[in-house]
Structure 1
């Protein structure tokens, strides 16, 4: 049986020190990119496989990052998990994934289980707001997209991004808008609603006022479909001309309701979402939405985790408006058509 290559073999092949190889294998950031590339090329050429168990015994940690999401069937969280895995692999780490199924108790159990497994760090997309576990650990923990306890948060700037949707619909001439908000027990749900409502209010003070209706639901298809049915079952004169949803799933549910009620989107109704899941570009019409930069968020979260930040400062990344076929100019009312509201 041929001898398995060692760290020393990798160092000699790459022309670097054993310490440099060890730093690359442990995912330390303080390694020059050129040296890191040499080491990775040597590892690939020699077929070197690190002894994870031995290194874990020496360092008390493995090269594994734990990720907890509320619901892995949610398209955005699936997308985000894939981005975190890619970012982890780029830094020489693997990913261990758990879903809390929107259960805070399960979420906290997963955190403790990851810590028991001596992971390098834990990234948590929280199910809801709350104080979190009173943890005393040297293992770094980062909140991603949704805040987990008092741990640093990396997320899209939900307030800024929601304001982009408000601007877009106002510029299209919509003055009767319905907003489908997310759960108020999540920071993302509150901030998206706050950003949208605040911007609509400011626009209305400067120009024509806007009649704004707000309904609350989960970030899922069913909520969007149900709320849209309540809104769109009214007479054409009384229903909103635009629906802004706090998630793409809600927006796609609203599109489905509009289709069932034979309401043309975007000629008679504009619909917008938030997230830019892959399905947003596949539905008909394609969905106007806010793109959350999943890859950027993931790389920043993994980077902060491996750098073991002592700061509790949050990091916000701007979202971007993606205009597609589901939004259009406000439909003009037929002349002499009275509007009635009960």
Structure 2
């Protein structure tokens, strides 16, 4: 007698039923509205009824989604983070700290990137608002924030002002002043400055802070304007350094570490040594600043502190401030600056 055929398991697969809020209501013999109020921790639900619903949830192993809970509470345990450029090391570090700090508080972070385009910024913000976030952290586009959206969601701007919302930022002008006074203290008087785009508020604040600090000592810097990237630092740096020794600056400060690193590359290509021939100061203290050779003297932004304040304000841990919060920058002296002979 031959053995019976093995069952064809491919034809009789069973799928576990997805439990929903109606199933919980039926098991507990209550209305869907009662289950919703229990999930939202509504105090109007009596103890006995709450225990009955909780028991049904446990028996059915019901797991409400974050978005579903958010729709009942008009929010989710999620923060929207909008940044202009993920390739910018400062914004990447900001995103890292926001995610880590939010996670410790039980919040997830949904990241959106605008590529410095106000139209994309508007679309990204409107999309995030449809997910019912607890709050929004926005680094606006540097050439003017988009308009056309309104929300009751707790919102803060970081690094750049966003009309109508509180700003959490380093004091850009004071930080740039630290760089100027550092170079003056080293004996430099023939000083240049590589600025960011003149239409960008952050660029103007850093430039003004640097120029004002030098003016207090009777020094006027040579200023060139570009973008905040490596290429601008290299191109403008070559323009400043490809001169006779008595005509080129002895020290150059920049509006960003990326510019400073590009500048140091230009110096190397021209066989100039940093800091023996030219002292260089950056701004931001991105991770790469400590890795290049020589290590970069720079102005440090307290990025973790900025991220912590932004998360606290957008999750309700701290009330939204009426005025802007400007945090203190600090001078980090490494190997790219030296006293003038």
TM-score range, shorter chain: 0.7 to 0.9
Matched, 1:263 2:277: no
Which residue, 161, 168, 182 being the options, matches 1:154? 168
Task: Please list the CA deviations of residues 187-237 of structure 1 after superposition, one character each: whole Å capped at 9, or x if unmatched.
Answer: 211111111101110122xxxxx2410111111000000000100011111
1:319 maps to: 329
1:53 maps to: 67
Runs of 4+ residues deviating >4 angstroms: 308-311
The separation in 2 between residues aligned to 1:50 and 1:88, in whole angstroms, is 21
Contact 1:127 / 1:186 at 8 angstroms: preserved in 2? no
The separation in 1 between residues aligned to 2:176 and 2:40, in whole angstroms, is 45
Name the Cα RMSD after superposition. Answer: 2.2
What secondary structure is seen at the aligned counterpart in 2 of 1:110?
A: helix
Task: Please list the CA deviations of residues 107-145 of structure 1 after superposition, one character each: whole Å capped at 9, or x if unmatched.
Answer: 111111111121111111112243641433111211011
What secondary structure is seen at the aligned counterpart in 1 of 2:152?
A: coil
Which residue, 245, 251, 273 being the options, matches 2:282? 273
Query: How much has 1:249 moved relative to structure 2?
Result: 0.1
Alignment of 1:331-342 (within 5 A): 332=341
TM-score (normalised: structure 1)? 0.79
Consecutive unaligned residues of structure 1, counting only runs of 5 or more, are: 5-18, 24-47, 205-209, 333-342
The separation in 2 between residues aligned to 1:171 and 1:112, in whole angstroms, is 49
Distance 1:49 1:267, change over 3 A: farther
Contact 2:126 / 2:149 at 8 angstroms: preserved in 1? no
What secondary structure is seen at the aligned counterpart in 1 of 2:149?
A: coil
TM-score (normalised: structure 2)? 0.79
The separation in 1 between residues aligned to 2:307 and 2:320, in whole angstroms, is 19
Contact 2:253 / 2:281 at 8 angstroms: preserved in 1? yes
Which residue, 119, 127, 151 being the options, matches 1:137? 151
Matched, 1:246 2:276: no
What secondary structure is seen at the aligned counterpart in 2 of 1:275?
A: coil
Of structures 1 and 2, the larger Rg is shown by 2
What secondary structure is seen at the aligned counterpart in 1 of 2:277?
A: coil
The separation in 2 between residues aligned to 1:80 and 1:242, in whole angstroms, is 29
Matched, 1:236 2:250: no
Count of matched residue positions in the alignment of Structure 1 and Structure 2: 286
Contact 2:253 / 2:282 at 8 angstroms: preserved in 1? yes
Consecutive unaligned residues of structure 2, counting only runs of 5 or more, are: 1-15, 20-36, 42-61
